């Protein structure tokens, strides 16, 4: 299992249920990496998508403890303990953890590769991702070229579990 996330310089990832910064190149990168594969996310992440609908051309697995929750076009999973059984059906696909903060935190130990869009700025954030630069189990494997879009600098970095 891998993960994909966009972080600011303090590893912030969101505020009030939304991304800290919308970068079209990051959206394209996310689409390229995840199309045809599997996304694992929490309910709040699903509900942050346009029209609260799953992303097309991907299997959207939604973790929620609410057994009455219903969402069209997703595979519901009611706990982290159920996830390995659900994922067995997708052994031929790349699996990406796609948020939010609690889901990242719970599944980080099971991930092997982290695709991190590093945004060279700091924003007010109420949700943060673990600092992989300071994490003893992770290392920067590939530093992406610094790019700029609408005055915002960013890079696509890849971290590997040690």
Which domain CATH number covers 97?
3.40.430.10
The string over 62-97, giving b where at least 16 C-beta atoms fall within 10 Å of a residue's C-beta and e elsewhere, is: bbbeeeeeebeebbbbeeeeebeebbeeeeeeebbb
Cβ atoms within 10 Å of 14's Cβ, excluding its own: 23
Domain extent for 127: 2-161
* pLDDT number for residue 117: 98
pLDDT < 70 stretches in the chain: none
* pLDDT number for residue 76: 97
* pLDDT number for residue 19: 92
How many structural domains is the chain composed of? Answer: 1
Among 131, 155, 132, 117, which Cα is nearest to 20's? Answer: 117
* pLDDT number for residue 160: 98
Q: Look-up: residue for tokens 């889901």? A: 103
């Amino acid at each position: 299992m891998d993960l994909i996330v966009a972080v600011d310089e303090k590893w912030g990832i969101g505020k009030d249920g939304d991304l800290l910064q919308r970068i079209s190149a990051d959206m394209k990168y996310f689409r390229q990496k995840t199309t045809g594969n599997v996304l694992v996310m929490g309910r709040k992440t699903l509900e942050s998508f346009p029209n609260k609908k799953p992303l097309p051309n991907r299997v959207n697995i939604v973790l929620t403890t609410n057994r009455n929750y219903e969402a069209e076009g997703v595979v519901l999973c009611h706990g982290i303990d159920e996830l390995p059984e659900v994922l067995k059906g997708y052994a031929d696909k790349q699996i990406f953890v796609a948020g939010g903060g609690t889901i990242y935190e719970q599944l980080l130990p099971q991930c092997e590769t982290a695709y991190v869009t590093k945004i060279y700025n700091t924003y007010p954030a109420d949700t943060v991702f673990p600092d992989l630069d300071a994490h003893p189990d992770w290392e920067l494997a590939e530093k992406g070229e610094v790019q700029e879009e609408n005055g915002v600098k960013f890079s696509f970095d890849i971290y590997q579990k040690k």
